[in-house]
Amino acid sequence: MLISLIIPVYNEQSGLADFWQVTDGILSQCKQDFEVILVDDGSTDNSWQSITSLTHNSRDAIQIQGLRLSRNFGKEAAILAGLRQASGNAAIVMDADLQHPPSMIPQMLSAWNGGKVGIVEAVKRKRQDESLPRRLGAKLYYRVFNLASRLDMDGSSDFKLLDRRVVDQYIALPEVGRFFRGLTAWLGFHAVAVAFDPPQRHTGRSNWSIGNLMKLARSTIISFSSLPLRAVTWLGGIGILFSAMLTLQTLWYKWQGFAEEGFPTVILLILAMGSMILLGLGLIGEYIAEIYQEVKHRPTYVISQSISPSNRDNQTTPRSD
Ligand code: UDP
Ligand code: MG
C-alpha cells in the first residue's frame, strides 16, 4: 500500500528539518510505503531550498517530492496541488509546523482500515491556546457555518486522511475556490474521528492574521450557503409588515388631525430602510463577487517547479492546473 503525505509549506524554513526528523521517525515504523509531497506555497524564505535538500533523503519506502507554486496562492490551493499529484491508496494532509502531530499517522492508518473507511479526521480535543477574541471568533464562526451549511465542522481541522475514492472525488470538483474542511464534509463519505491535542507552534509563526481569518469566514460561508441571501428576503418581509402597521397608524393620526407629529418616525424610517437596502445590496454583491471568481475559471494555482528523486537534476516542469 502506498500512502501519500501532502504537506503545504509557507515560510517554514526554520522548522522543516525538525518536521522531517520527527515525521521520518514515525514513517519508518509503519509498514506501508510513503510518498511525501511538500508543496511550497510561494514562500519568500528558503523553504524551497530546504525542500530540495530533503528530496535527497528519499529511499525506496519513502519518496520525497517537492512542488513549487509560482506565488502564494494560499493553503487551500497548496493542498489541492498536492492531492492532484498524489498517487497513493490514501492521502494524509498535514501542516508542516508539527501542530498536526505525525505520531497520529499510525492511528489514522489503522482507522482507515485498508480502505474500508473513506475519511479519517483528526479532531482537536481542545483548541490551541489562543487569545480570547480569537477563540470567541472561531466559536461564532463555526456556529454560523454549521447553521448555514448544515455541516458539522466543530473541532475539525485540515489534518485528515482521505481514501483514494475521496481524493478522486475531491480533485474532480469543479470549483476554483476551495475549502478543504467543508468540502470533505460535503462529499459525505463514511468518516471516523480520532482525537488529538494540538501542540503549540515551535518555530516560525502562524500565517493567519485576523483580516485573513475574516476573509476566509466570509468566503466559506458564502460558498456553502445561500442562507444570508434568504435572510435578506426575510428582512424585507418583516419590513413590509412593519410598514403596513405604520401606514395604519399614520392614517389614523391623519384622521385624528395631528398628522405632522410623526416627523421623528419619518427620519428613523428613512435611516432604517436605507441601511437595510444597503445591507441587502452589499450581500448580493458578495455573492456576485463569488460567482465572478468562479466563472473566470482561472486555475486555483500555478506550478512553477517540481522536483522528485527521479528528476532532481532536471527540475523545471512548469505546468498549471
Ligand atoms: N500555509 C500555506 N500557505 C499559506 C499559509 C499557510 O501553505 O498561505 C501552510 C503552513 O506552512 C502550514 C499550514 O499551512 O504548514 C498551516 O499554517 P499555519 O500554521 O500558519 O496555520 P494555523 O496552524 O494557525 O492554522
Ligand atoms: Mg500552525
The ligand placed nearest to the CA atom of residue 15 is 1
Chunk the chain into consecutive blocks of 10 residues (it has 321) and report each block's average pLDDT, rounded to whole numbers. Answer: 96 93 94 96 94 90 95 95 96 94 95 93 78 83 86 85 97 93 92 88 72 85 88 86 85 78 77 87 90 93 91 55 56
217-272 residue pLDDT tens: 888 898 888 888 888 888 888 888 888 888 888 888 888 877 666 677 788 788 88
The verdict on the CB of residue 178 being under 6 Å from ligand 1 is: no
Q: How would DSSP label each residue in 98-127? A: SSS-GGGHHHHHHHHGGGTSSEEEEEESS-
Cα–ligand 2 centroid distance for 286 (angstroms)? 29
Cα–ligand 2 centroid distance for 69 (angstroms)? 20
Q: Residue 13: what residue type?
A: Q
Phi–psi pair at 185, nearest 5 degrees: -65, -40
285-304 residue pLDDT tens: 999 999 998 999 999 999 99
The ligand placed nearest to the CA atom of residue 208 is 1
The one-character DSSP state at 42 is S
Which grid cell is 10?
509557507
> Which pTM value belongs to this model?
0.85
The verdict on the CB of residue 208 being under 6 Å from ligand 1 is: yes
The verdict on the CB of residue 181 being under 6 Å from ligand 1 is: no
Contact 158, 99 (CB under 8 A): no
Q: How long is the chain? A: 321
